[in-house]
Structure formats: structure tokens, C-alpha cells
A and B are shown apart, each in its own frame.
Chain A
């Protein structure tokens, strides 16, 4: 029975590993192929099955004038927009969440939970509903097709995530912690940043991770609200496609696009394995 269990366990782990890793391996392999290697017959192993080439990767940094697509600028645009919007969302979202967790708000029938739901409802709505108001708004203030305009929109999109995660997190931080800090001589602001915030680092990391992921992968608003001046990575990657699908450069761009998220995942995983995220507040 135990042997069967062990067998099934390892079988499942192996199956799942293959399921997760195979697409990456496929993308890595394809990114080094050329038209011939992709379209002639099924090939897997470089140098044996096919002759590897860097053409798929070169296209990504070559200027359009030379037949490339140049994703370098969109790449840095994406990094700038995602990081700036995530950072601002985390700062504002954390402050809002702390207030929602610690103070009681009453305005007519509106209570704390209603305000929290209002934040989350921004994410429940289908994005298309927000697209026209955002378009008109950015156009009115002259920020359409600009990095700043995208940052503003992404803050609106990411802040609900930060608020949602951090409200729940602050609710689990005992109120006595703030009270103890006040008794020990902190003013309310010091109690927040000296005591509550350091205890909430795990929550901040989770919220930050979600903001970065959702900011990085957004295609819809980047596509609707930008034209020629500014482009973000997801839009540029999609623009790679043409009548003949360039699987090699698409694979290379997919790997480049997913790399920052893998780095983030590794950092968070290292933090998780130290036990800093789990049970920090017991």
C-alpha cells in the first residue's frame, strides 16, 4: 500500500513537472530554430536534430528598418510602468487598507466592508467597461499614448489588489500591537511604520507580487490606450505575428517576457522557504 502510494506520488510529481516544464523547453528549443527547422519536420535536440541559430533572438533587438521588431524600448517601458504603478499602488493601497482595518467609517449606509468591496469591484468589472471612460479621461488630460497615462490607469487597476490583500492581512495583525506601540511611546504614524508595517512585510510581498504580475501581463489597456509614441511589451509581442507566424522570435520574446516574473517568483520562493511568510504573526 505504501509502495503504491509512493509510486503514485512520484508518478504525479513527474507528470506535473513535465506538464509545467515542457512548454518552456519547447519555447527554448523553438527560439533557436529557423524557418526550416520549425516547418520541415518535428525536431527536438539542437545540433543533432537541427542547427541552432540566434536569428529568433536577433530579431528582438534589431531595429524595424533592418527587419527586426526591437522590443528593448517596450521592455523598459513595461518595467517602468509596472514598477512605478505597483509601487504607488502598494503605498496608497497599504495606507487605505490600514485605515479600513483599524478605523470605523460610517457614511449613510456605507461601512468599512462596503468601501473594501468598492475597491474590489473595480476588478470584478469586465475591463471593456472601463476602457471608454479611461480613454476619454486620458484624452481629456492629454495623457493618452504616454507612459504617465498608463501609470495612472495601472494604479487604478492594481490598487484594489493591494487594498484587498492588505486589509485581510492587517485584520490578522492584532490591534493590541498598535496599542502596545502607542503605550510604548510611538505616535500613530510611528506605530504604523515602526511596528505594524515591519510585521506586515509578508503581506506586502504577496501584494507586490500580485501587482507586478497583473501589471506586467496586462495587454488590454496597453493596447487600447497607446498607439505609436509608447508601446508596452505585451502589445509588441503580439505585433510580432504576421502572415507567416515567426515561432522562433515569438518563443524568444515569450521567454524574455516571462523572465522578470520568474525572477520575482524565485525571490519570493526563497523568502517563503525561510519561513518568513508563514507563521510570522503567531
Chain B
């Protein structure tokens, strides 16, 4: 277990190119000991590259990695004491399940008793105890992935366990249980867990801290609540939450107000320096309320669709050519035709050049 510092890290896969394209743009970050992190972003945004840099499979083009203040950038993977689980099961086909789980400990010359104790503990946690003597290749895909996961968790002293979308091949019920198990392991052993995913629900339910990435850039690091309520960029607003954040083109009309079409919306943002500039107003569909009549901070929409999701209703309406989505309680009766929706000022986010004001 260690504190991991990534200092000015950047990486390109074509360094000899006169104009290299960067898979990871320069960034610095610290992963505190014993925390759970999720790296969230669309495919190809640099999540896996970041993991591979930490585990040593990829040497960063620039920057330095420190484990507990000790530089490890030039250290080989096998000397870093990191565990990594890949998206698809990687198992040693020629070995039994027991030998697979014991392999990382044998490589590090643990005693036989310690190996037995750790393999038993991990196989109990992952429900693999009854398969320990079976050839690993005979197991199903999700059991194989459990073995991969087990090999990652079998060492108690790892600096961090890096997981690259590890639950993709696991069925939903088991996925839920495993996420809970991982949390328990983290709480019990204080193992730093880093979990790469493009599934926001997975990230939100698993991590204490979420790192959102886009096109090789870290766009926001924060608690799930912050990412949801105050996305720092419109990308985070779009990417986190279902449905995505409502984003409207608007113009700043006063220090705290913006105009969408002809409707003035009050916000808590200080917009003095942006007077008459074009900005974007963002608000989550969860925060938009149904208003009985027109009043301040309400917009009039023409209801186009009501979808019942069981635990809530999703209203879709049009305000001129703008689409507004709002989540309301299932029990609420929805009048046909025109509706007034209230935008609470404290929940409105204003974005200038796609960044939160």
C-alpha cells in the first residue's frame, strides 16, 4: 500500500513523429493510500494508458511516478508491486485455479503456509473455493475473470490494485456483489483500488473519488456528488447522469442572469465579466421542478413525451427549438399541453467556453 504521485505525466505512442499526438496530456495527480478511485471516460480517452503507466507496462513520455515519495518511473513492472486486472479474463490455462491464485505469491517467494492462507481467504471472498483443484481453463468466462481478480487481491501488500473494466464479462447480479466485496476489501485491508470504467453508475457506486477523462485530458476530479451537481465542463455534464444534463445556449443579461430565448433565468453564478456574452446554461433534469403557474425562473415548455421508468417519469418538452428534459415523481399527474418548469437558481450552472463559471 502506498501513496501514488503522478507528476507532470504525459504520453504519446508516436514520439518520433514531428507532430506527435498525445494519448495523455500533461497532468499531475495524487492517489492517496487506501482510497477507492474510478477513472471514468469514453473509449479511447487514455484511461488504460494511465493504468499501464502506473503499473509500468508503459513508460510515460514525460513526467515522474512516485510510490510513497520514491521515484519508480524507471522501475520494471515486476519490481513495482502493483496488481492489475484486465477487461477480459487473463488466466494461466495450464494451471489449476489454486496455482493461478498462488502464482503472484510464489513469484515473490512467500512461504507455503502464507500462500495457503491467502489463497483460501481470496477464494472464499470470490466464491472460488470449490474450484480450487480444477484446471482454470475449464471454468466459465466470469469465473475466469474472478481468478484474474483473485490474483490481483491475493497480495495484501500491493501498492494499488488497478482494474481495467474488470466486471464487463460478469453477469449483473454477481457484478453488484463483487463491487460490494471490493469495497469491503478496501475498507478491511486499506488497499488502494483504481477502477477504470465507462459506466458512470459503476463509478458512482464504487468510488470515493472519480476522475473524469476526455481525449487524453483529465477534465474533473471529485466526489460523485460534485460531479453530479457541479460538473466543471459541459462534457462532464453530458457524460455523467442519465439523462445527460440539459444544456441551453444563452446570453448573459445581468450579473446573475442569463436569457434563454426570451426567458430570463436567475443563477447563483457571478457573471459580471461576461455581460452580453454567449454562454451555456446547464441544469440536471433531476433538479427541474414542475411549477403550477408562471413565476420567476420558470420556463414554458410544450410537452412532447412522457416516459414512465417505474420509479420516476421523464418529461420531454420543447422550448422553441430547445429540448428540455425533467425527471418528476411517478405519482405526479402531468397535465397535457403546456407546462411551467422551475429552474432553482442554486442548481443552475453557467458555462463559458464549455467551462464552469
The answer to whether A and B interact is yes
Interface stretch, picked from B86-94, B122-130, B299-307, is B86-94
Q: In this assembly, does A182 line the interface, its C-beta being within 8 Å of a C-beta of chain B? A: yes
Residue of B56, B86, B90 contacting most chain A CB atoms (<10 Å): B90
Q: Does A64 sit within 8 A of B, measured CB to CB?
A: no
Decide if A176 touches B78 in the complex (CB within 8 Å): no
Residue contact A179 to B57, C-beta cutoff 8 Å: yes
Counting CB contacts under 8 A, is A280 at the interface? yes
Q: Is the CB of A187 within 8 A of B76?
A: yes
Q: Of the candidates B57, B137, B151, which one forms a contact with A184 in the assembled complex, judged by CB atoms under 8 Å apart? A: B151
Q: Does A180 contact B (CB under 8 A)?
A: yes
In contact, B84 and A180 (Cβ under 8 angstroms): yes
Complex Cα distance, B86 from A180, in Å, reads: 9
Known contacts A179-B57, A179-B77: A184-B107 contact under CB 8 Å = yes
Residues in B with CB closer than 8 Å to A187 are 76, 78
* B90–A176 touching, CB < 8 Å: yes
Residues of B with C-beta under 8 A to A201: 94
Report yes or no: A180 in contact with B90, Cβ–Cβ below 8 A. yes
Chain A hits for B78, CB < 8 A: 182-187
Give every chain A residue within 8 A of B137 (Cβ-Cβ). 280, 282
Instruction: Please tell me if A198 contacts chain B, counting CB pairs below 8 Å.
Output: yes
Other-chain contact of A177, B56, B57, B90, B104 (Cβ < 8 Å): B90
A177 to B108, CA, bound (A): 18
Chain B residues with CB under 8 Å of A184's CB are 78, 103-104, 107, 151
Give the Cβ gap from A223 to chain B, nearest Cβ, in Å. Answer: 42
Interface residues of A in 250-282 (CB under 8 A from B): 280-282
Interface size class of A (residues with CB under 8 A): 10 to 19
- The answer to whether B200 has its CB under 8 Å from any CB of chain A is no
What are the residues of chain B within 8 A of A198 when measuring CB–CB?
A: 92-94
Contact B90 A199 (CB under 8 A): no
CB distance from A269 to the nearest CB of B (A): 21
| A182 neighbours in B (Cβ, 8 Å) | 56-57, 76-78
Contact with A along B29-71 (1 / 0, CB 8 A): 0000000000000000000000000011100000000000000
Q: Is A14 an interface residue (CB 8 A)?
A: no
Q: Contact at A176–B93, with CB atoms within 8 Å? A: no
Q: From known contacts A176-B86, A190-B107, A280-B137, infer whether A183 and B55 are also in contact, taking CB-CB under 8 Å.
A: yes
Instruction: For A177, list chain B residues within 8 Å (CB).
Output: 90, 92
Interface of A is mostly: helix
Cα separation A282 to B139 with both chains bound (whole Å): 11
Chain A residues with Cβ under 8 A from B77's Cβ?
Answer: 179, 182-183
In the complex, what's the smallest C-beta–C-beta distance from A92 to chain B, in angstroms?
23
Residue A148 lies at the interface, judged by CB distance under 8 Å to chain B: no
Please give, as numbers and ranges, the residues of chain B lying within 8 Å of A126 by CB-CB distance. none
- Bound CA span A10–B119, Å: 53
Whose C-beta in chain A lies nearest to the C-beta of B162? A183
Rounded to whole angstroms, the CA-CA distance of A28 and B261 in the bound complex is 98
Closest to A198 in B: B94
Contact A180–B93 (Cβ < 8 Å): no
CA distance A143 to B298 in the complex (A): 97
Residues B90 and A174 in contact, CB atoms below 8 Å apart = yes
| A195 cross-chain contacts in B, Cβ below 8 A | 92
Question: Which residue of chain B has the shortest Cβ distance to A174 in the bound complex?
Answer: B90
The residue that B93 contacts in the complex, of A179, A183, A186, A199, with Cβ under 8 A, is A199
The minimal Cβ–Cβ distance linking B332 to chain A, given in whole angstroms, is 50
**Do A183 and B82 touch across chains, with their CB atoms under 8 A apart?**
yes
A19 CA / B78 CA spacing, docked (Å): 57
* Contact A183/B84 with A190-B107, A280-B137 known, Cβ cut-off 8 Å: yes
B6 contacts A by Cβ under 8 Å: no
Complex formed: what's the CA distance from A201 to B92 in Å?
A: 13
In Å, the complex CA distance between A236 and B103 comes to: 52
Bitwise, A161-202 to B at CB < 8 A (1) or not (0) is 000000000000010110110111111001000010011010
* Residue B245 is within 8 A (CB to CB) of chain A in the complex: no
Nearest B residue to A187 via CB reads B78
Q: Does B279 contact A (CB under 8 A)?
A: no
Whole-angstrom distance between the alpha carbons of A185 and B76 in the complex?
10
Give complex CA distance A190, B57 in Å.
Answer: 16
Q: Are B83 and A183 in contact (CB-based, < 8 A)? A: yes
Q: Mark out the residues of chain A between 50 and 102 whose CB falls within 8 Å of any chain B CB in the assembled complex.
A: none
Contacts of B84 in A (CB 8 A): 179-180, 183
Q: Determine the distance from Cα of A177 to Cα of B93 in the docked complex, in whole angstroms.
A: 10
The residue from A176, A185, A190 contacting B104, defined by CB atoms under 8 A apart: A185
A280 to B93, CA, bound (A): 7
Q: Which of B83, B88, B94 contacts A176 (CB 8 A)?
A: B88
Give every chain B residue within 8 A of A190 (Cβ-Cβ).
107
What is the 8 Å Cβ interface bit string for chain A, positions 1-33, against chain B (1 contact, 0 not)? 000000000000000000000000000000000
Minimal beta-carbon separation of A124 from chain B (angstroms): 33
Q: Which residues of B contact A280 (CB under 8 A)?
A: 93, 137
Which residues of A have CB within 8 Å of B86?
A: 176, 179-180
B108/A185 in contact, CB under 8 A: yes
List 7 contacting pairs A-B, 8 Å CB cutoff, sorted by A: A176-B86, A182-B76, A182-B77, A183-B57, A183-B83, A183-B104, A184-B151
- Please give me the 5 A-B residue pairs with the lowest Cβ-Cβ distance, nearest first: A185-B107, A184-B104, A182-B77, A198-B94, A176-B90
Task: Using CB atoms and an 8 Å cutoff, list the residues of chain B in contact with chain A.
Answer: 55-57, 76-78, 82-84, 86, 88, 90, 92-94, 103-104, 107-108, 137, 148, 151
Known A-B contacts: A190-B107, A198-B92, A201-B94. Give 16 more (CB < 8 A). A174-B88, A174-B90, A176-B86, A179-B86, A179-B90, A180-B151, A183-B83, A183-B84, A183-B104, A184-B104, A185-B107, A185-B108, A186-B78, A199-B92, A280-B93, A282-B137
Binding site for B on A (CB under 8 A): 174, 176-177, 179-180, 182-187, 190, 195, 198-199, 201, 280-282
